[in-house]
Amino acid sequence: MALRDDLTDYVGRNSSPNTKIVETHNVAIVGEWHAFLVTPGSDIRTRATVRLLLELLGDPKYRYFANESYANKGPIRQAVREYVQDGSLPPALDPNGALSDVVEIGRRVLVRRYQEVLDFLRANPRYILSIGTLEDADGRRDARLAQHFFEEFEDRKLRPGVPGVLLLGGHHAAAVSDSGFPTVRMLLEKRGFRCVSIQVLTDFSPKGVPDDEVIPVGTDLANVDPKAIVRLTSLVSKTPVSVPTDRPWTNGRSSPFRQVTFGSSTIPVASQFEYIVLQKA
């Protein structure tokens, strides 16, 4: 069978409408490809992420929600606090305006982006951990996000085993790093947290590079044959679906997600994420 056929068969045998995490864990990490901050068109990324967050947080065992997009200090953190306290929203971003300050743009966009999640948390109180940072250098950003997580966790006097949900960009959520520095997940695990990562994938295709494409392990990333690319959302007729990436398959074979990587990665999908969730626009 061709790789696409293998993936189709595996997904058909193992997918379900909901994410049922069977691994022992105390941090359920949701990895997303962030929606654009200003440019329109990427709303499906937010919808897919929010749907999964609400599904997970519906389980009362999860006692906190940590979010990379909520800055650890400053106007964005204050805007989140004000909305949770009294439902007040900052002004909406004018798409035709000339606002250039990234923090002010974030204040106006990011509370609304996850507003459904905040509404749920207002009705079902959990701790909100604001762990975001303006640091954008490779390695240092992961380290800063992890440090903010530890500080917020300790400020709430939470015990190490208390379970919660953590939202990160996909690269920070991975169990194995593609770079020479540890991911946020790896840093949490070094401190004793037990993590499971779920990557949310949509059929959005910015600049012709689909969110959900995978390629065979060992592919030269500088010279990818278009015929080798598989769009994961094309394997299913109805979404959302959740797929564990490393379950036993037919005739004792290993999961075909051990044979594919994301388009910018050299690490098998099954080594980076325990689950993927697929959602079409």
Contact between 131 and 145 under an 8 Å Cβ cutoff? The reply is yes
Q: How many CB atoms lie within 10 A of CB 103?
A: 12
Are 201 and 230 in contact by the 8 Å Cβ rule? The answer is no
Every domain of the chain and the residues it spans = 3-279
Confidence of residue 138 (pLDDT cuts 50, 70, 90): confident
Q: Are 132 and 80 in contact (CB under 8 A)?
A: no
Give the strand pairing for 195-202 and 27-32.
Answer: parallel
Q: Per DSSP, what are the bridge partners of residue 30?
A: 167, 198
Confidence class of residue 263 from pLDDT cuts 50, 70 and 90? confident
| 8 Å CB contact between 256 and 216 | no
Q: What is the Cα–Cα distance from 203 to 190, expressed in whole angstroms?
A: 34
pLDDT at 97: 76
Share the mean pLDDT of the chain: 95
Apex 29 CA angle, 28 and 30, nearest 5: 120
Beta carbons within 10 angstroms of residue 180's beta carbon: 7
Sign of CA dihedral 37, 91, 51, 177: positive
Q: SS3 for 263?
A: coil
pLDDT confidence of 264, banded at 50, 70, 90? Answer: confident
Residue 98 reports pLDDT greater than 80? no
Higher pLDDT, 281 or 40: 281
Q: 272: which 2 tokens?
A: 């980076």
Which SS3 state, helix, strand or coil, does residue 142 take? helix
Q: Which residues contact 25 (CB under 8 A, 6 or more apart)?
A: 163, 194, 195, 196
Fold category of 3-279 in CATH: Rossmann fold (3.40.50)
Local confidence band at 117 (pLDDT 50, 70, 90 cut-offs): very high
What element of type H or E holds 3? Answer: helix 3-14
Single pTM value for the model = 0.96
Q: What is the pLDDT of residues 17-44, one digit of tens each?
A: 999 999 999 999 999 999 999 988 999 9
CB–CB of 61/25 below 8 Å?
no
